[in-house]
Amino acid sequence: MQKLFLALIMVIFMAGTAAAHGNISKLPFSVQILQYKMKLYMNADDLDTINNLAMAYFYSGEMANAKEQLQIVLVADEHNFNALDGMGMVALKEGNNDRALEFLERAQKINEKDMYLLVHLSVAHNNSGQTELAKEEMKKAKSLATDDLDKTWIDNEVKILRPSATPGAKE
């Protein structure tokens, strides 16, 4: 039992950190979910970890669990940028574009120059038939890309946010 506990602690500390978007970790999402649950066991009120857990759920295709975690964050902090952006992402995956725009526009009021958010807004505007606005947001996002990894992430994120796409799957 002690070895199992030590192994779990190692996973927690070796996995790194996450954000509402981008590369969460090099570990599989199932391991990330375990990692964040263990961290929450030690500190249940850590909003960053709750948000990270939500994104691991999102990218593993577990939208209901992602939404549940993001709602916990937003109840505690209705202006949490990462949770607002995350809820927008979930709404996009669910095909609820109007709801996605509500969350993403709230996040934009907090940070209008976040590359990830701009990509999400571009997808939402494109889904709404606002192609010029979508192009404008994507142009801004691409101007913030600092390397080829960012550019690859942008392309992958656009594919992932289609309601029919499976997060975490490679196309």
Cα distances (angstroms) measured from residue 122 to each of 51, 56, 107, 138, 158: 22, 22, 14, 6, 9
**Is 80 exceeded by the pLDDT of residue 80?**
yes
Q: What is the average pLDDT across 100-118? A: 97
Residues of the chain above pLDDT 70, percent:
81
In the predicted model, is pLDDT for residue 8 greater than 60?
no
* Residues 124-147: tens digit of each pLDDT: 999 999 999 999 999 999 999 999
Whole-number pLDDT of residue 150: 94
**52 pLDDT above the threshold of 70:** yes
Whole-number Å distance between alpha carbons of 163 and 127? 10
CA–CA separation, 161 and 134 (whole Å) = 14
Reported pTM:
0.82
What is the model's pLDDT at position 1?
Answer: 54
